[in-house]
Amino acid sequence: MNLLIDSAALVWFLEGASDLSEEAAAAIESPASRSLVSAATWWELAVKAGLGKLRVPYALGEGFEGLLRENGFEVLPVSSAALDRAARLPRHHRDPFDRLLAAEALELSAGIASPNDVFDAYGVRRIW
């Protein structure tokens, strides 16, 4: 199963935080899952860190991809198909990062590990 990881789930997973649900943690760690971190999620974390809204104990620059790979994640580049789909999605939510993740999940027939129930409105299978 393709499984996109949203920013909150990713940070909680990397930090071993109890905020990550057991179901999401199990799905991320499952050998049957292809755990994907969108380049958009990486960008969102960098933006939030740059604005001082997020503090993480690791760098979000070039070394971040290595950290993701060490933890079993694959970085997913943003596709033109996902960008096009995001532009056509209904406006259930204004957050451009979440809209793009919803579009990517729909394009890949992927689930998404996220505490954010806005993905339900887009018909994305949410694991939480």
Each residue's pLDDT tens digit, 53-86? 999 988 898 899 999 999 999 999 999 999 999 9
Q: How far apart are CA 85 and CA 71, in angstroms?
A: 29
% of the chain surpassing 90 pLDDT: 91
Q: How far apart are CA 21 and CA 42, in angstroms?
A: 21
The total of other beta-carbon atoms located within 10 Å of residue 111's CB is: 20
Each residue's pLDDT tens digit, 115-126? 999 999 999 999
Class of domain 2-127: alpha beta
User: Across-strand partners of 36?
Assistant: 4, 74
Q: Which residue has the tokens 């070394």?
A: 63
Q: What is the pLDDT of residue 57?
A: 86
Each residue's pLDDT tens digit, 14-37? 999 999 999 999 999 999 999 999
Q: Is the pLDDT of residue 94 over 90?
A: no
Q: What is the pLDDT of residue 123?
A: 96
